[in-house]
Every structure is written in structure tokens, then in C-alpha cells.
Amino acid sequence: MSEQRETRILMISPDSKLTPDQLVRAVHAMVPEISIKETCYGCLVEGTRETVKKVVEQVRQIYRNEVFSKRRGYPQGDPRRCRAQHGTRPGFTQLEAEWECLPLIQYALNEIDAGNGAYEVPAEKKPIPVKEMKDICEAYR
Amino acid sequence: MSTIRIAQLSCGTEYSGVQFEIESAARAVGAKIVYPDVSYSQVKEALDRFGFKPKSTQLQLMIARAMSLADRKFEADAVFITTCFRCAEAALVRNELRRFIQENTRLPVVTYSFTERLKAAQLLTRMEALVTIVTRKELLARERQSGITAGIDSGSSTTKAVIMENNKIIGKDWTPSGAVVVETAEQVLANAMKEAGVEMKDIEAMGTTGYGRFTVGKHFNCKLIQEELTVNSKGAVWLANRQRGEATIIDIGGMDNKAITVRDGIPDNFTMGGICAGASGRFLQMTANRLKIDIQDLGAMAVKGNWANAKMNSYCSVFGIQDLVTSLGEGKKFEDVAAAACHSVAEQVYEQQLQEIDVRHPIIEVGGTSLISGLVKAVGEVLGEEPIVPPHSQYIGAVGGALLSSGFL
Amino acid sequence: MKVFIDPPNSMVLFDLVERFGHEPLSSMAVIQEKIDNIEVDMPPMNVTLDDVVRGLKYAGVEVPSGIRGRMSLWGPMIEAADAAIIIDNAPFSFGCVGCDRSNELTKYLIHRRGIPALTVKYPTDEAEAKIMVGQIKDFLGGLKQ
């Protein structure tokens, strides 16, 4: 079964103007035989591994750096994971936190696409030597 | 009756394979496990307010969920706080959150540290008590017994029966529990009725508690079949005449120990231990057997001794007792050895259970082991306060059963 | 190549690894295997006592059960990985990764395997995001297919 079914979270970056509704309609047009559930952050798609792969590839082409994706273990509407059953599961908070981070990732990917991807890793900051700290303290005496 | 909602604040239950067992236990007593909803921003805010920032985010989430209960953003009837056994970080959070919930809500709360071997049956009594506290508020508020009622406490070591009339005990009996719980119960009930001078037809209602409560309750068609945490609490405060205000009830039983904090006789927090025979009344029985003395004499002997003279290197009911025998071989006094045995049990109860509750005053010590004076003395020494041992303290369950069942008249 | 991601449930890492042409090894995949097993009925995750006992391979019995249960799922993934990317100070690590001790052990096991591993810092602004994404892209680009 695992080989057959794949469920994906498609999450729209908060900086994108794309709406979940638009995304759902676009995905529907991409492939037949896919199950889609609109959510507050984008949508859940479910189908065979091959179908879902096609969807993700096309979504990445059309909404290149605006929509992000990861697999989900549970199928759509699984009561074991459903929020309505007994409240949110802890992974919900994780998704929320990562959603907040997506604009930064989107920015970085856009920069790379635009040829501005050069970066420099800053040297790690180290605590000042004890002697130096002592001098500072004594200067305030 | 709507389903009782037990809010679960936990870490590690799913990856330990015990979440299913927790939910099964809740379902078995007509309750449902719920998780208070929180958002990511609430987690950040909750940590700042609470002031404790554990490294593990699941523990952070527990804090935010507790905050959501305290702020009444999420409705629940009771709280179950549980984390992995042997996790220090979680143990700190578990205890502080229990305190926080008690200070900020009126919800009954129980804490538990689990291993991967946890089975639903181990949680049943605790879950049942949470449900009783929520659903039987009016019954539990009862302070006077009326009419003629009987209570049977079918415990793991002994079975007790009490007959009460107009708020007085008029008959009582106990005996070691036999293989067939109903037979033992019938025997103590008959003796108690004889002492009271009443017959079965005179008894207007019966209540039962303890391990054998379901079998006994069915056999006698009891009006009240209820777990021992709430029933014993009521019996203890009635016997000690401390029905109002706060108290801590310590019941060192034959198989498990209970430490319960009560407010007006109703438990709001409790722990139950039962994995170590060395921390139970059974240990003292084994010590007495090994020393070839009567269990009744062990207590009086211990009062005269000094535990520090007979060092025990182990709390274990096998190795610890061996230490005591070795001490005797070295010429130590019987009294000191008996005192060491009592001290060992008291110390373990203190270390394992009383850390999970906030001890309130007075401390009421009950159950069969409260008759062992050496143990009461040892508990007093360990806690720094002498416990109250009410008269008939071994009859708490039976008294609680008789008292509460009169509420059905 | 198979790239283990840490946090193993991270959407950002899963997406970037796939985007840059590799196969992310994530906790979602192992959880799917567990929950799709119709022979076990232990909701919500079908993690059983046997799994926790299998976790003894990674941590002793004195270690809390939640850690052993987690390691029994992630350990085999770390063993199967060709490379790994770790976000060192992710402020988000809820759900599967709620236990800090498990997370520390996971990082150590990656290190002990000696596979190519990249540790990046979670960004707090756009400049740092460029560094993180740039490092990940270069690391993945340098992995031989």
C-alpha cells in the first residue's frame, strides 16, 4: 500500500498572492485521478506515487518558489490524525512554524534564480577572552 | 450524560506505543482524551509566562496546553499529565505543570510516568477516579451517613466490612482476602451484621470498593461500586473528622500505595504506586515472617528501635530483607531491625510518591498499615510531621462505601 | 542520493532536498509504513512495544521509552542514508521531533556514520536565508549521483 499511495502537503508561502482555491483548481487541471483537499495553507493531494510526483513537478514549474511540499504519512481525512477527533496533533505546530519561515526560503530561492546566490558564511562569534572581560569589568569600577 | 473530556498533557506517549492504551483506559470509564489546541505563537507566549523553557519542544507544547486550560481557552473536565519514566526534563515539567493546573484551575489532575509496558488496566482506577470526581460531585460532597447501610472494601490483602446507622459505625469486621472474593466478603459482612445486630433485609444500601469491587458489587447488588481513590478519601476524612478544608491522605496498601490530596474530602490530585513490593505493606509482612514475629508486634517493636543502627543497602523486598537478616546475625537488636524495615517503606513512599503531590496539612494516614505504629512513626520522621491516624483507620474503604451509598437512599 | 533530513519532519528541508534533485529520507515516510500496516491496530501511529524494544539497538533500557521508540524508526533511515542535512538551531521541532534527547542522539548517529553531512543555521533574516539555502544547494550539487 505504501508503494501505491502518496499523500502530499502543498503549502503556499505567506508572501505569495496565490490562494488555496487557485492552487486546487490548477492541480485538478494537471492530472486525472487525484484527490485534493483544500486547506488553510494550500492543499493536500493524494494519489499514486507517480501521479503525485507529476503534480509536484508541475507545481514547482508553475509556482516555482511560492509553493513548498512534503510528504505526509497519514492519508487525507484519517481519523487518527484528524484535528476534529481530539484536537491538534503536535505536528500541526511544526507546520505553522515552518509556514512562517517560507518567505525567507522563497526570497533565497528567488535570489539564486536571479543569479544573486553568492553568499559568505560569517565567521563564528566566540566569547571574549576572560582577561578582556576582566579589563572591561575593572574599567567600570 | 455527556462524555467526560480528559485533557492529556504528555510527552512520548505515541513513540512509546502507549497512546492507544491511555485512550482505551479513558474509553473504558466513559471518558475521552482530548488535546488542548494551541498555535505556534501561543507556545512562545506560554513559555515566557511560565518561565520554564525545556529543551524538548513537546514539553514546551505541554506548557502551552496547560496555559490554554488555565486561561479557559479550552474546555476539559479533568487533566492527565504523563511523560516517559526516567526522563529528568519531563519529570520536572510534569510536576510543575501539575502544580500550575492546581493553582489555576479546579480540574482534578493525575500525573503518571509510563514505560513502554504500560497497559490500559494499570490506568483504569486513575481514570475512573477522574471521572467519578467530575460526575459524582454531589454524591462526593456527602458528609453524613443516614439510614442503615453497609460498605465492603475488597482489597488485595484484606477484606473489610462496616455497617453504619445514622452516621455511626455499628458493626465491622475484617479478614485476609481469600481466593474467592465473594466468600471473604460474605464472611466479613455476616460478622459485621452480627456485631451490629442487623440482618440483610435491614440494610438499605451497600457500597463497595477495592480490587474485588466489580465481583462483590454484582454479587450483593451494590448501589455504589466505585474505585478506592475517591471512596477511601471520603472514609478517611469522615473517620478523622476532617471533612472540610485540605488534607493529605496516605494509604500504604498491600499492593499499591495511594497519596491523595483532598479539598473538602474530594481528591484533586493523587498518585498510585504499585510496581515495587519493597514500598508496600507487603514488605513489612515479609519482614515479620522472616523475623518470625507477628506483624502486629513489628510496629510496637519498631517504635522502640533506631533504624540507623541497622543499615539497609537496598529497598528491595528480597535484598533489603536479606540486609535485615544480616544485621540480626551481626547482633543488632530486633527493635532496630524492625525500625529499619518501617523506615525503608516510609522513605520509599516519600521518594516515589509524595514527590508527585504537594503535601497539604494535616496528613492523615490510613489503611491496614496505619495500625503498624512503627510505620506511622517512620512516616512522621520522614515527613517532619506526625500523621493523624483516625480510629478504625483500616476501615476507610468500607466506611466510605457505607457513607456514599447512603446517598442513594 | 538518499539524504537524511534533520529535523526529519521538516517541510523546508524535504522540499529543498527534492527540489535540488535528491531523495529526502523523512519521518513521514516511516510513519506511513507504520500506519498503513493493517495488521496492527494501535492508533494513532501503530508504534508497538516491539518497536520500542527494537530501539534498544540505539539506546539502553535506562533511556526513556519515547527515545527508544523514536530511534527504532529513525535509526534505520540514518543507516540507509548516503548523506545528511541538519538544521542546527531550528526553532520549529514539534511533533515527531519533540524530544530533544532523541534529536541529540540522531545528530550523533549521523556523525558516527561518517557520511557527508551539512549543518546549517536556521535563518532569522533574508541574508541568513540566502546562506542556508545556498549551502544546501551547493552541498546537494556536490553529491555524486
Q: Which CATH number fits domain A5-113: 2.60.40.10, 3.40.50.970, 1.10.287.1120, 3.30.70.250?
A: 3.30.70.250
Shared-domain flag, residues B58 and B113: yes
Residue B61 is part of a domain; what is its CATH number? 3.40.50.11900
As a whole number of angstroms, the distance between CA C119 and CA C116 comes to 10
Interface residue A96 vs chain B (CB under 8 A): yes
C-beta atoms of C99 and B85 within 8 A: no
C-beta atoms of C69 and B15 within 8 A: yes
| DSSP-assigned states of every residue in B257-316 | EEEEEEETTEEEEEEEE-S-GGGSHHHHHHHHHHHT--HHHHHHHHHHS-GGGS--S---
Q: How many domains does chain B have?
A: 2
As a whole number of angstroms, the distance between CA A110 and CA A104 comes to 10
Show me where the domains of chain C are located: 2-142
Interface residue B17 vs chain C (CB under 8 A): yes
Residue B196 is part of a domain; what is its CATH number? 3.30.420.40
Residue B258 in domain: no
Give pLDDT, residue A96: 87
How large a percentage of chain B has pLDDT more than 70?
Answer: 99
Interface residue B202 vs chain C (CB under 8 A): no
Region B285-293: what's the mean pLDDT? Answer: 87
Residue B20 in domain: yes
Which residue range(s) make up the domain with B75?
Answer: 4-135
The per-residue pLDDT for range B336-395, each reduced to its tens digit, is 989 999 999 999 889 888 888 889 999 999 998 999 999 999 999 999 999 999 999 999
Tell me how close the Cα of C31 comes to any Cα of chain A, in angstroms. Answer: 5
Residue B390 in domain: no
Q: What are phi and psi of A59, to 5 degrees?
A: -60, -40
Q: Which of B105, B135, B165 lies at the terminal end of a domain, its last residue?
A: B135
> Sign of the C-alpha dihedral, residues B86, B92, B96, B101?
negative
Q: Which of B135, B155, B173 lies at the terminal end of a domain, its last residue?
A: B135
As a whole number of angstroms, the distance between CA C3 and CA C120 comes to 14
CA C102 to chain CA mean position, Å: 10
pLDDT exceeds cutoff 50 at C12:
yes
Of the candidates A86, A90, A96, which has its C-beta nearest B39's C-beta?
A: A96
As a whole number of angstroms, the distance between CA C52 and CA C143 comes to 34
Residue B305 in domain: no
The per-residue pLDDT for range B87-116, each reduced to its tens digit, is 999 999 999 999 999 999 999 999 999 999
Interface residue B230 vs chain C (CB under 8 A): no
Shared-domain flag, residues B147 and B210: yes
The per-residue pLDDT for range B61-74, each reduced to its tens digit, is 999 999 999 999 99
Q: What are phi and psi of A104, to 5 degrees?
A: -70, -40
Shared-domain flag, residues B27 and B86: yes
Show me where the domains of chain A are located: 5-113
ipTM (interface pTM): 0.93
Q: Which of B97, B117, B135 lies at the terminal end of a domain, its last residue?
A: B135
Lowest mean pLDDT, pick from A99-113, B260-274, C42-56: B260-274
